[in-house]
Amino acid sequence: MSGCENFVLDQDTVYRFLQCTVGTRGGGARAVSRTLKRDATPPQIRVWLNPEAPNTEGWFRAPVSVFYDCLDVTSGVTGDCPQSAALSTEGVHTFPIQSVRDRAGNIGFTPNTPIRIDMTRPQLSATMPPAQLPIGATHDFHASATDALSGVRSVACTPVDTGTPSASGPGPGTRVATCTAIDRAGNSTSLSSVYEVRLDIRRNSVPAAPVRRVPPQPIRRGAKPAKSRAR
C-alpha cells in the first residue's frame, strides 16, 4: 500500500493530486486517485478612487470617482463586480454594502469607508488696517472664520509692518496686509488691503493749536520805545 495515509488539506490550493495504490490478492495493484481543490478565502473587492486619496485630514476638495476591482486567486470570481460611482456633491458619502461570490461559495464585501467632500471655501471675517498708519503703529485684525463642512483648520494674519526707516530694513511706503483662513479640506479664503506708512503722522498725536506771530514794530529815530501796559 502506497500513498494511502490520512491526509488533511488545510491550505488553499488550486490543484492537489493524491493517489493511493493497494495490492490485490492476485498479486496485482490497484490505484485510486483524486484531485483536490480548496478555497476558504473570500474574494477581495478593491476600491480605486480618482483622485487617489484624500488629504491628511480625510477630505477631498473635488468630485470623486469610485471604481471596484474583484479578485480571487484560487477559485475565481463568479458574477459581476459592484458598479462604479461618481460623487459630485459635497458632504459625507457612505455606500450600501455590496458583495461578490467566488466559485467555492465564499462571499466578499465592499469596504464601508465614507468619502468626505468639501469644495467650499471657509467664510472669513477680519478688520483690515486703515489706508494710512503712523510709524510704530500696531493693528488688531479680530479675524475669525467658519466652515459648515470640514471645519476651520487655521486663521492667520500677517502683522502690519510700520517700522522706522533704516538702511537695512523697510521704511515708510505702501504695504499689503493679508488674512487667510484654511479649512480641513484645504480650501482657503484670503482678505487683503493696502496701507501706507507715513512719516508725517504721529501715533496718538493731537494737532497743535495754531500760533500767532506778531511782527516787531519799527522804532522811529529819537523816539523812545513804547512801554507795554500791563493788563
Q: Which residues contact 38 (CB under 8 A, 6 or more apart)?
A: 9, 11, 12, 13, 16, 74
Say whether both 113 and 134 belong to one domain: no
Q: Cα(44)–Cα(75) distance, rounded to whole angstroms?
A: 12
Q: C-alpha angle 104/108/112, rounded to 5°? A: 175
Residue ending a domain, choose from 90, 117, 144: 117
Say whether both 141 and 185 belong to one domain: yes
Say whether both 153 and 191 belong to one domain: yes
Say whether both 75 and 34 belong to one domain: no
Say whether both 6 and 50 belong to one domain: no
Q: Of 163, 154, 160, 188, which Cα lies nearest the Cα of 175?
A: 160
Do residues 99 and 109 make contact, with C-beta atoms less than 8 angstroms apart? yes
Within a domain: residue 229? no
Within a domain: residue 188? yes
Within a domain: residue 181? yes
Residue at grid coordinates 483690515: 128
Number of domains in the chain: 3
Q: Of 78, 80, 81, 84, which Cα lies nearest the Cα of 101?
A: 78
Say whether both 149 and 87 belong to one domain: no
Q: Cα(39)–Cα(104) distance, rounded to whole angstroms?
A: 6
Residue 138 is part of a domain; what is its CATH number?
2.60.40
Within a domain: residue 204? no
Say whether both 50 and 15 belong to one domain: no
Q: How many residues does this entry show for the chain?
A: 231
Within a domain: residue 129? yes
Say whether both 182 and 135 belong to one domain: yes
Say whether both 62 and 112 belong to one domain: yes
Say whether both 1 and 34 belong to one domain: yes
Instruction: Provide the residue range defining the domain that includes 191.
Output: 123-198
Within a domain: residue 228? no
Ordered per-residue pLDDT tens for the chain, 231 residues: 555 667 677 677 776 767 777 767 666 777 777 777 788 999 999 999 999 999 999 999 999 999 999 999 999 999 899 999 999 999 999 988 999 999 999 999 998 889 999 999 999 999 999 999 998 899 999 999 999 999 999 999 999 998 875 545 555 688 999 999 999 999 999 999 999 988 876 655 434 334 343 444 554 555 555 554 444
pTM of the model: 0.68
Say whether both 177 and 129 belong to one domain: yes
Within a domain: residue 224? no
Within a domain: residue 8? yes
Say whether both 48 and 113 belong to one domain: yes
Q: Which residues contact 57 (CB under 8 A, 6 or more apart)?
A: 150, 153, 184, 185, 186
Residue at grid coordinates 512801554: 227
pLDDT value of residue 214: 41
Residue ending a domain, choose from 94, 117, 140: 117
